[in-house]
Structure 1
Amino acid sequence: MTDHHQSTRGEPRVALVTCTELVELDPDDRLVLHPLTARGIAVEAAVWDDPDVDWSSYDLVVLRSPWDYALRRDEFVAWAATVPTLVNPADVVRWNTDKRYLAELSAAGVPTVPTSWVEPGETWSPPAETGEYVLKPSVSAGSQDTGRYDLADPEHRDLAAAHVRRLSEAGRTTMVQPYLSAVDNEGETALLFLAGPDGLAYSHAIRKGPMLTGPDLGPDGLYKAEEITSRTARPEQLAVAEKTLAAVPGGTRQLLYARVDLIPGPDGDPVLVELELTEPSLFIGYADGAPDRLATAIATHLARLV
């Protein structure tokens, strides 16, 4: 987008990308609307798969809540590639919407939850050793199709095998991870980073309460309810987050935001459970000044397009 393009149209236009279930945006995302308009930036919600949207009419297209993409990931990635002013950009979307990126980050030295993968068509049986495991698809959003199984329970073993079969028959890859029980007390820590003049900068953190109480028994909505509270990130958590972001292909200057989700490992040290670069909840309602910081990040990316 050139300076001439913006100046001939007046104030810059920004689309916040959502889905048909959230045409008015997620309530958290609505908190950035006033800070953006106060900066002279016109902003509106737009549904990613609406054929009537002219994406070229926007100076910046910001991915926010397109949370129905998981079962149409190929379509979503193809759409992203057609939007040149998309943030985070299409290459990041392609990489980050399949959680097999965790294997790459682990190989780069990032401490991650140990994960094995069951590809569609592969035979899988629950491990012989007992313990609790988490099963989920490698492409998902909002903890959809995710379950927790106690393999000491014969019924859970059967349900775990059925879960993998259900995903495999749908052509989906399954992730198998040990359930790290420290999360029951500590919860999950999400560290939020937003773009600044010199790249991503730490903004705030929140705590998610434990969400997985048992097996996944089928569809239960667009996303699962979360128990969210504010949290102060500890130095060791910030260190893991910085190491994670340093391993992102293409670097972090291209990013508008990042969310690094950590849980305690067996020794209590933080390990990465997910790196959210595509459509994460940013929880800007849980930290003073965060809506304004997100608006500043968007203005920063707009300035780079001039």
Structure 2
Amino acid sequence: MGTSRIAIVTSEVGAEADSDLRLIVEALHADGWTTEPVAWDAEDVAWETFDLAVIRSTWDYAERIGEFLAWVDTTARLTRLWNPASVVRWNSDKRYLLDLAERGVPVVPTRFIEPGGRYREQDFGGDGGVVVKPAISAGALDTARYEPGRHAEAMRHARMLLDQGRVVMVQPYQRLVEEGERALVFFSGTFSHAIRKGPVLTEPGVIDNDRIPHPDVAPYRPTGEEMDTALAALAAVPSSGSPLFARVDLALDDSRKPVVMELELIEPNLFLADHPRGLERLVEAVATEARRAAT
């Protein structure tokens, strides 16, 4: 066990802001593993010398998506990468929501607009308003919601993103998210813990890339229906096995039914500081993969 090397993959911003990073490294050390945090874009890293590389806080990936996915593919050829490269690539573009919907998973209804695609001002209307954001983003980057009747403002936001060559997604604003967004965390396909957090898009019509991505976090016990929805989303992941880690973000629709907002399989905050048993479960999952890699 002690001869295996595990990289916990981070970034410059992640190394500074990821409260889970130190906990994970220290817990794996305590369990007998040689572990260190490594930035995904650090120069001269010999990834082949690691038995396992676990992506955790590569929180700048959405702004450097081409470079990041090239790193993912290269690193996956040199060591065991978790989550796997194919899963990371699939999950990096929120058009995966279409795949979930095709598999019968209840998701927030979403329309995607490609650069050069056709759209009308009416496409940005809705009884409860709409959310406009890029299909490749993290932490609500370049995202805003618009109140009913503000079609032109929402369309200008979309046009700005399209002019940058980015795919745009338009969703009806889920008003009940103001009661709290649910985030269910899983390790190796098994539920670990959940949190509820306050709404992020609190001010309509404003793109605020400095907003707090997880406000007012509190422990949460999911309902049976929420658990079923999360498990259905995980079952729809195009992979032969369960992700090493996953976070399923849910909201309630107008009928108070849970719908998937996002399925986070690349670098989700796992809220381990407030869930020590969750940290133990993650260490168990990583240790299991490290043992497999060593055989």
- Whether TM-score is above 0.5 comes out as yes
Query: Which residue of the other structure, out of 29, 33, 38, is the alignment partner of 1:41?
Result: 33
Cα gap change, 1:43 to 1:129, in 2 (>3 Å):
closer
The runs of 5 or more residues in structure 1 that have no matched partner are: 1-5
CA distance in structure 2 between the aligned counterparts of 1:126 and 1:148, rounded to whole angstroms: 15
Does residue 272 of structure 1 match 2:260? yes
Residues 9 and 58, structure 2, Cα contact 8 Å, conserved in 1: yes
Does residue 205 of structure 1 match 2:200? no
Moved more, 105-114 or 80-89: 80-89
Does residue 286 of structure 1 match 2:281? no
Alignment size in residue pairs: 289
Write the mapping of 1:186-225 to structure 2, written as runs, cut at 5 A. Answer: 187-195=180-188, 200-215=189-204, 217-218=206-207, 220-221=209-210, 224=213
| 1:148 counterpart residue number | 145
Secondary structure in 1 matching 2:255? coil
| 2:136 counterpart residue number | 139
Cα gap change, 1:56 to 1:215, in 2 (>3 Å):
farther
TM-score norm. by structure 1 comes to: 0.89
Cα gap change, 1:71 to 1:140, in 2 (>3 Å):
same
CA distance in structure 2 between the aligned counterparts of 1:115 and 1:63, rounded to whole angstroms: 28
Residues 126 and 151, structure 1, Cα contact 8 Å, conserved in 2: no
Secondary structure in 2 matching 1:81? helix
Moved more, 126-135 or 42-51: 126-135
Give the drift of 1:122: 2.5
CA distance in structure 2 between the aligned counterparts of 1:129 and 1:237, rounded to whole angstroms: 25
Alignment RMSD: 1.9
Residues 124 and 164, structure 1, Cα contact 8 Å, conserved in 2: no
1:159-217 alpha-carbon deviations (Å, 9 max, x no partner): 212211111011111110001111112x111110012xxxx211000111111123465
Query: Which residue of the other structure, out of 69, 74, 91, is the alignment partner of 2:86?
Result: 91
Residues 182 and 251, structure 2, Cα contact 8 Å, conserved in 1: yes
| 1:3 counterpart residue number | none
Query: Which residue of the other structure, out of 101, 112, 115, is the alignment partner of 2:110?
Result: 115
| 2:13 counterpart residue number | 21
Residues 9 and 56, structure 2, Cα contact 8 Å, conserved in 1: yes
| 1:161 counterpart residue number | 155
Cα gap change, 1:149 to 1:203, in 2 (>3 Å):
same
Write the mapping of 1:216-235 to structure 2, written as runs, cut at 5 A. Answer: 217-218=206-207, 220-221=209-210, 224=213, 226-235=215-224
CA distance in structure 1 between the aligned counterparts of 2:166 and 2:283, rounded to whole angstroms: 36
CA distance in structure 2 between the aligned counterparts of 1:73 and 1:63, rounded to whole angstroms: 15
The runs of 5 or more residues in structure 2 that have no matched partner are: none
Query: Which residue of the other structure, out of 82, 99, 108, is the alignment partner of 1:104?
Result: 99
Residues 88 and 277, structure 1, Cα contact 8 Å, conserved in 2: yes
CA distance in structure 2 between the aligned counterparts of 1:131 and 1:222, rounded to whole angstroms: 22
1:14-59 alpha-carbon deviations (Å, 9 max, x no partner): 1111112233561123222222111111211111112222111111
CA distance in structure 1 between the aligned counterparts of 2:220 and 2:133, rounded to whole angstroms: 26
Residues 100 and 138, structure 1, Cα contact 8 Å, conserved in 2: yes
1:97-152 alpha-carbon deviations (Å, 9 max, x no partner): 00000001101000010000111122433325543111111100111111010132
CA distance in structure 2 between the aligned counterparts of 1:22 and 1:296, rounded to whole angstroms: 23
Secondary structure in 2 matching 1:136? strand
Query: Which residue of the other structure, out of 54, 57, 67, is the alignment partner of 2:49?
Result: 57
Identity %: 44
Residues 140 and 209, structure 2, Cα contact 8 Å, conserved in 1: no
| 2:60 counterpart residue number | 68
| 1:239 counterpart residue number | 228
Residues 92 and 266, structure 2, Cα contact 8 Å, conserved in 1: yes
Residues 16 and 63, structure 1, Cα contact 8 Å, conserved in 2: yes
